Amino acid sequence: MIIHMAKDATPEQENALLKRVEARGFEYQIIHGSTGIDVIGVLGDLSGVEESYFAECDGVDKVIRISKPYKMVSREFAHDSKTLVKGTKVVKVGETVIGGRELTIMAGPCSLESSEQVMSIAEYVAGMGVPIMRGGAYKPRTSPYSFQGMGLRGLELLAQVREHYGLKIVTEATGLHRHMCEDGNLERNNVLENVISYADIIQVGARNMKSYGFLQELGILTKQSKTPILLKRGDSSTLKDFLLAAEYIVANGNPNVMLCLRGIRTFEDDRFQRFTPDIGAIAVLKQESNLPVIFDPSHSTGYRSRVRAASLAAVAAGADGLLIETHNNPAEAMCDGEQCVTHDELARIKAQAEKIRSLVYDE
């Protein structure tokens, strides 16, 4: 941490600051600048210290962090572990290894809607060799008047899919949400408990990426099982905040976290792009973190006709997996149908993406 004193800081203020530095057990070194302004370098492990701890002292102009605020998810951490493949800590789901040489595709509908829909999609997803099926039983919706998901009934359908087709299941948990069923009654357990008991991979949605209490609880509740977590980036979160959210889960006991990019909100007109696909962030996360990186081409583009381009670009940029929405009948999907690809397009994406993976992985 570098502390830049204000032009008019008094020696008393600087002394008070230095005491604060020492009180936390850090060493320091002072640079007496030619303009009469002192700059103080604070030395030691500052990962648990926020800039504001020093910035709020009188006489301080600016505090600049140099070390990373996260530890366990950083690229430097755990370097000699046997779980690392080319610097990435792989996550295993059944026989599937996520983060290694093979590209992992997860596909399925945005929302679970009916037994017929779920089984029909599961059949073709499994048929083309996709190992993991996605599907939301609980849907966080911007409007209180929109369809909120099938709830527990949906989770039961996913359990059937697992049994019949051997697919592993990724589905979203949301915080505190006791699901209101169509008959107006609340489900007995909260959403998180229900999802934990059914899912092979627990998805944390973009809207909950900053619900720190939820992340902490999730880490604690999966400390034993170590069920893999697919953490989506908030649509306006910096990469630093994204990595700190992952750190929340890991620090509370579950190291099996995957980072999922899904598009960010920018100044771009949403009549052109629903979100801005954050494909450039893949390389940054690979440099900064040891976690596998998954890309969601469906939410990040918002349009079926652009899912393939975004998928191939993400894999070329180094993504370890893709989370793709598909629907047996996109025009009748109850949620986000405009971004679902058909069976044929999914198969085409899978084939091309795998070729690109092998082209770029060994270079």
Interface with its own copies in residues 78-137 (CB under 8 A): none
Task: Select from 203, 208, 289, 326 the one that contacts its own copies (CB under 8 A).
Answer: 208
The yes or no reply on residue 64 touching its own copies (CB under 8 A) is: yes
d(CA 217, CA 252): 8
Residues 319-338 that bind its own copies (CB under 8 A): 330-331, 333, 335-338
The yes or no reply on residue 210 touching its own copies (CB under 8 A) is: yes
Task: Select from 83, 115, 120, 276 the one that contacts its own copies (CB under 8 A).
Answer: 276
Q: Long-range contacts made by residues 79-87, C-beta under 8 angstroms, separation at least 24? A: 84/290, 87/286, 87/290
Instruction: Write out the E strands in 233-280.
Output: 257-261
339 near 303, Cβ under 8 Å? yes
Task: Select from 15, 81, 114, 146 the one that contacts its own copies (CB under 8 A).
Answer: 146
Across the strands, what pairs with 41?
Answer: 2, 29
Using the minimum distance from each CB to its own copies, give the nearer residue, 135 or 318: 318
Number of shown-chain residues binding its own copies (CB under 8 A): 119
The yes or no reply on residue 278 touching its own copies (CB under 8 A) is: yes
Task: Select from 8, 23, 116, 144 the one that contacts its own copies (CB under 8 A).
Answer: 144
Task: Select from 15, 31, 128, 188 the one that contacts its own copies (CB under 8 A).
Answer: 31
Quote the least distance from Cβ 94 to its own copies, whole Å.
28
Find the part of the chain contacting its own copies (CB under 8 A) among 96-104, 126-134, 150-158, 211-219. 211-219
Task: Select from 162, 168, 177, 350 the one that contacts its own copies (CB under 8 A).
Answer: 177
Tokens 């690979």 correspond to what residue?
286
d(CA 178, CA 226): 24
Find the part of the chain contacting its own copies (CB under 8 A) among 79-87, 97-105, 154-162, 214-222. 214-222
The yes or no reply on residue 347 touching its own copies (CB under 8 A) is: no
The yes or no reply on residue 23 touching its own copies (CB under 8 A) is: no
Cα-based distances in Å from 149 to 110, 240, 297? 10, 31, 22
Quote the least distance from Cβ 59 to its own copies, whole Å.
9
| CA neighbor of 242 nearest in space, from 279, 268, 215 | 215
What's the half-sphere exposure (Cβ side, CA atoms, 13 Å) at 349? 35
Q: At residue 263, what are phi and psi to the nearest 5 degrees?
A: 95, 145
| CA neighbor of 185 nearest in space, from 153, 214, 217, 208 | 153
Using the minimum distance from each CB to its own copies, give the nearer residue, 32 or 82: 32
